Amino acid sequence: MNLTTKNPVALQTLMNETMYSIGERAPVYPAAESLGTNIFEYQGDKTTGVLFILRYPEYPYFSPQAEDAFEKTIGALDLSKANVAIVNLANPKNPNDWKLIMEFFKPKKVTLLGVEPASLKLPLIAHNSYMKGRRAVVFNTFSFEEMFSDVAKKKLFWNEFKTFIGT
């Protein structure tokens, strides 16, 4: 197969393995820093190392009911919207790229709220469990809407989330 592009973003999307080049310079992928400080639209503070990733197409961040539940949930653990970062990947301005997310936010703890790990090219992480990576621990859980409709999911989330944030 012949590739007819030298665009590094297109190549990164097409290839999931490390590429080597002999005789030519290997493609260089842009780092988040080189793309500017406004690469993501987000709420809160990214310097604390706590990041929430969600995908709500109908809202800038959360539905009103989910926002209320979110604020109460993190408030019970001495967090607030001001001292965590929240990014909505449904916003067309936000790249759906795990490497850029990690470079830009530099999180230590990431919570996926209803965002399937596979959509970010992450390994399978069961709901209400977490995986320790090289730079961050990723907690995969349900969206607040899923928890509203199933009390058992809400209880599972809360018990595991307290442990995750406490570590």
Sorted by sequence, the CB contacts under 8 Å of residue 91 that are 6+ apart come out as 41, 60
Q: Domains of the chain, with CATH numbers?
A: 36-166 (3.40.470.10)
pLDDT band at 39 (very low <50, low <70, confident <90, very high): confident
Residue 142 has pLDDT above 80, yes or no: yes
* Rounded mean pLDDT, 45-71: 94
Cα separation, 156 vs 142, in Å, equals 10
> Residues 82-98: what's their mean pLDDT?
95
Average pLDDT over residues 98-125: 95
Mean pLDDT value across residues 22-43: 59
What's the pLDDT score for residue 37?
A: 61
105 CB neighbour count, 10 Å cutoff: 21
Higher pLDDT, residue 24 or 126: 126
**Confidence (pTM):** 0.77
Question: The tokens 């997310």 sit on which residue?
Answer: 101
